[in-house]
Amino acid sequence: MDYKGRTALITGASSGIGAAFARELAARGCQVVLVARREQRLAELAAELESRHGRPAHVVVADLSLPTAPAAVQAATEKLGLHIDVLVNNAGFATYGPFDTIDPDRDHSMVMVNAAAVVDLTHRFLPGMLAKDGGAVINVSSLAAFQAVPFQAVYAASKAFVQAFSESLWAEYRTRGIRVVACCPSATDTEYFQVLGNDDEARVGPKRPPEGVVRDSLRALDKNRPHVVVGYPWKLVAMVPRAMPRAAMARFGEKLMRPRHRP
């Protein structure tokens, strides 16, 4: 894709993969719209990008766990007079532990951010891309999208939703100038595990830098692929559930992800 002169909107842009997407897309010629809850972080990143690349970087503060947030984000872009060419649905978080011990409100907020906001924002910006005969949607999914993940049941389910949603849109719009890709990273060096409150038990494998996730995602977008699993060893891991009974994979996942204090 040619990103020069385009506008990209990135959710969860205050840190991690979102900030890495913002930096890379700005470097490729986009003006960016940075969306997250932490205004100070966004303002600092916007100042950095404007200073480095000489293109506008806009800040939109929004909590995507609120059902009204996507409409507010759209209204903010319209007020700025912006047409969104590239939508990066990156915002998301997880919970970890036995399902009965997790705060229901926390899981509800996660579904709103990880799944509902992804659908709502895509509804709001995809028609404009079609009217301009081109655009791209990048949805940050996860390696967890390919199988059940006990003790992260709702997170895995939300990412499986994002995966199916993305691949369905890819098939619908691939001949209409719209590219859609689901990016599926494994453990990444971000604030994800700090928010989760657990690293050693919930993490599988070493952490990869967020810049590598962005690079692989944009490469897959250039090739118009429906999804990309980041990192060669994990591409093989993502194929294993296709060859094994789902019950066996779920039992294996339970042993792998079981909290250490649980018998």
Is residue 114 over pLDDT 60? yes
Catalytic positions are: 155
DSSP 43: H
- Residue 263 is predicted with a pLDDT of 43
Helix (H) or strand (E) holding 179: strand 178-184
Cβ-count burial 219-235 (b if 16+ within 10 Å, e if not): ebbeeebbbbbbbeebe
- Tens-digit pLDDT profile for residues 158-196: 999 999 999 999 999 999 999 999 998 876 555 555 555
Mean pLDDT, the chain, integer: 88
Predicted pLDDT of residue 41: 96
Q: Minimal CA–CA distance to 209: which of 189, 229, 193?
A: 189
Looking at the domain 7-257, which fold is it?
Rossmann fold (3.40.50)
Q: Find which of 109-123, 181-195, 207-221 is predicted with most confidence, using mean pLDDT.
A: 109-123
Instruction: Tell me how far CA of residue 167 lies from CA of 35, 164, 179, 225, 237, in angstroms.
Output: 24, 5, 10, 9, 19
Dihedral sign for Cα atoms in the order 225, 227, 232, 233: negative
Return the pLDDT at 244.
Answer: 67
pLDDT at 259: 76
User: Residue 146 — pLDDT band, cuts 50, 70, 90?
Assistant: confident
pLDDT at 200: 56
